[in-house]
Structures are given as C-alpha cells and as structure tokens.
Amino acid sequence: MGIEVLLRKINDYTPSDKLLIIRAFAFANKVHKGVLRKSGEPYIIHPLNVGCILAEMHADAQTIAAGIMHDCIEDGAGITKELIAEQFGDKIAELVDGVTKWKKVDFNNDKKMTDSANMKKIVESILVDIRIFIIKLADRLHNMRTLEFQSLQKQIENAEETLRLFVPIAHLIGQYTIKSELEDLSFKYLKPEEYQKIDELKQEVAREYRQVLDGIICMVAQMLNIEKIEYDIEVKIKNHYALYNRLQHYKDPAKVHDLIAIKLLVDDIETCYKVRDQIEKLFEPVPERAKDYIKQPKTNMYSSLHTTIKTSNNRLIQFQIKTKEMYRINAYGLTAYWQLQERNREFNPASKMQEDLRKLQFFQTLDDIYHANAGNTENFNFEVNQMILSKKIYVRTPNEEIIELPVGATPVDFAYKIHTDLGNYLIAAQVNGEYVPLDTPLKNRDIITIIADENLVGPRRDYSNMCRTNRSLRKIKEFRKSHYMR
C-alpha cells in the first residue's frame, strides 16, 4: 500500500489540503524509514492506514496530517512538538502531542492502573479536542485489523482493552461504523469458537431469509414507486458481537427482532413518517417494537423510525426509516460533520464537533467527574466506570427528555443528574405517575417526576443510603461540607 491509495481517498480535497497531507506523509516516511512492523511491512504502512481511515470519515486535512504523524514524536529521534509546530502549525502539533502523551502510559502490566491512566487520557482528549480521540480510534482500528501478528497474550490484552475502553466511547460519540468493527474484531480474538459459530449462523440466516426479503423489498419498492418517493435501500444482518449478546438472552435467532434490518433512506422527515405508515399497512407490525428516535433521538444523536414486522413464516424483520443525513450521523456520529458540510473557509467542522459534543449528556458527566476528582485517581476511575462504561438505563422527564443513568439508579440519582439543586431539595418522586420510595431502582422508559422544596435546608441524611451513584454521594457530601453539616 502506497500513498496513492490515500490520494484517491482525498481526491475531492482542496489542493492546499492535499499538499498538507502529502507533506505530512513525507515527514512521517522519513521518521519511520528502516523501521518494520511485526508483520515485516515498513512501519509507515500503519500511519498511512490511519490516515486512510480518517480520510474515509472525510476528516479535515489537519486531522489526517496529525493521524499520519501520530507516532513521530514517540518513535523519531529529535522529533518534538515544537518541531512539528514549526513545520505544520500549532494545531497539528497539539493533536500529535495529545496522541503521543496517551501512548506513554505504562505501569508494568498493572492492568488496573493502566486502564485508569488511559481513561484519564481519553477524558482529557475529549474535553480538549475530540479529534485526538478520533485519531486514537483510527489507530486502534488499524492495530486491531492487524492483530494476528501479535502474540496470543497481546491479542487478548488488546481485544479486552478495546471492548472496555474504546467501544463504549465510540458508541457515546455515535461512531457506530468503527464501534461495530472493533466489537467484532475483539470478539474474534477473545472467543474464536463462538465467533465462528455466529459467522456460520449469519450465513445461514442470509440464505434462509433471502427469498422472503426479496419479496418484502419488491413490495416496498413498488409502494415507494407508486408514491413517487425517492429512496435508497440497504439490508443488514446484526454484527457478530451484538448478535452473540442478543442470543445470550433470546437463544432462538428467530426471536431477535432486529436480527435483520432493512434501512430505507428518504429525503425528509415528513416522508419518513409517510413511509412508516405505508409499511405498517402492507405488513403485520409488532406494535411493542415500534420506536420513534426522530422525536426522541438517542443520547448519542442516533435518529430513525423503527418498526418491526412479522413475516408470513413468523420471522421478525426491522425497518429503519431515516433521512440520508440521519443515516450519515447514525454511521459516523460527531464525525458526520466532516461529510455533511461543504469544505469552505466559513465552516469549521472541528469547532462544530466540539460545540455539539458539549451538549451530549456523557460529555457533561465526564466534565463533572474530571474536575471533581482532579486529585483522586481512584474516585475518578470508579465514577467513569460507573457513569460512562457501565450498562445503562434510559428514563424520561415529564417533558420526554431522555436521561441516561447506570443500571440500579434511583430517583435520587435521577434528581442529581438533572441538576444539583433538584437533588438537594428533593422531597418526593413519582414514577409513571405514582409516588415511590426514593430508593426504588428505575427501569428503562420510566417517566420520573421530582417534587422539590427550596425551603428545605438540604438533602436528608438518609439520602446517602438511597442513591446508587458515586456522583450523587459526592454532591450530597459537597452540600453538607459547604453548609457545615456534619
């Protein structure tokens, strides 16, 4: 693989952007000259592939250049952040330096300390410039694609770390494309026999569903043509790792409602609803599986209409109806800005990404955890694992805003997640219209109403026993300390 492959991927970039990327490649090629990977290939193949992955996202030229040079400071004698800044500008130097600082983490095989330090680097990179994490994500993806050249121990360590750290954050920023591939690559190395079984199952499902799918698609296409609706259509079987996890619960693949998804892409939101209604007239819908993620997008920006139908032979097939813009955002998350906007001097996708990132719940949670635990690594690591990396439930406010909480969270945790004052002055809570004890574990789709009284002197002492998140406990302690309550 030479630079020609990368040049084809950036063919529509401006001449100045292409020149910057070519200069970055020449710089990295010189730094890594004579160095080989474990595969026996020249080392430059790795950063070049990282650049290609970023180019496939339509990343800005600065990000691609930094991705190509991401190993230069660590591996090149005399290569410093200042030297890169002198030749490529401060912003690219900061991106390269951000990735370099991450790679220096080493605690002599102490996995817990290494995980903690790596997570802190992830959080710092996200808070400063999400592109640092995205470069690292591309770096991890190529390393996972070439993991067969590592020792068995390294394969397992890298696969476990990928599932623990990289997959959850990729999900949170909506990068489903990379998330799914990282899941499957990790699964392949951690459970090779199960991976093979799922692979064979997917092939079997493709054969079994082919005829019924052809009939369904033909009927849908005919309907869309009659309605004069322009569309794109894509059929996808659930990825290996997600299907494996589903089967731990359902056992029978035929009961997995989203085993096969038919994705319909149309021009606008109004057409999404029109198409959904027509599909539910053509086929037998499964009402309890209908989801409207257009009116209520997921917390990582995912938007779509979902409706599941039952076929004549009692098989379930999910329709995902979305606009083409939604499709790109669903596939690439925040990085979709690189695709959705024309490259021009007025628009800065990096700034837009960081601006919208700050609106996401997980960013606000990370920001709070990072600054509250600046001097306490143990608490920082515990809260990140609890609030960010653990399994989640999705509950709602009376205004239908979706709130993300860890499994086991209570109304007290919900109140503190909404606003510190709401937690401090909480006196009662309703779940789905009924009063409940404040230590009641919440469930997916619950609607929670908090009753507060600002005349209270603060949270009751027993609230510490009624919450399940470290964040809520911390807020209660902070109130008591600031008000001299013991």
Contacts of 438 (CB under 8 A, 6+ apart): 410, 411, 412, 426, 428, 429, 463, 466
Rounded-to-integer distance, Cα 459 and Cα 424, Å: 5
CB of 231 closer than 8 Å to CB of 264: yes
Rounded-to-integer distance, Cα 335 and Cα 425, Å: 39
Q: What are phi and psi of 204, to 5 degrees?
A: -65, -45
CB of 339 closer than 8 Å to CB of 328: yes
Rounded-to-integer distance, Cα 194 and Cα 175, Å: 25
User: Tokens 């992830």 appear where?
Assistant: 122
Reading the block at residue 174, the tokens are: 């909506």
CB of 209 closer than 8 Å to CB of 260: yes
In the set 74, 160, 356, 439, the catalytic residue is: 74
In the set 17, 56, 75, 157, the catalytic residue is: 75
Q: What are phi and psi of 427, to 5 degrees?
A: -125, -25
Residue 14 identity (one-letter amino acid): T
Q: What are phi and psi of 444, to 5 degrees?
A: -50, 135
Residue 339: burial class (beta carbons within 10 Å; 0-12, 13-18, 19+): middle
> Could you give the 3-state DSSP secondary structure of residue 401?
coil
User: Tokens 């002492």 appear where?
Assistant: 461
Residue of 485, 476, 364, 486 whose CA lies nearest to 425: 476
The count of other CB atoms within 10 Å of the CB of residue 19 is 12
Is 157 assigned a catalytic role? no
Reading the block at residue 452, the tokens are: 């507060």
Residue of 10, 24, 131 whose CA lies nearest to 88: 24
Is 75 assigned a catalytic role? yes
Instruction: Give 264's strand partners.
Output: 233, 321
Rounded-to-integer distance, Cα 267 and Cα 143, Å: 37
Residues with active-site annotation: 74-75
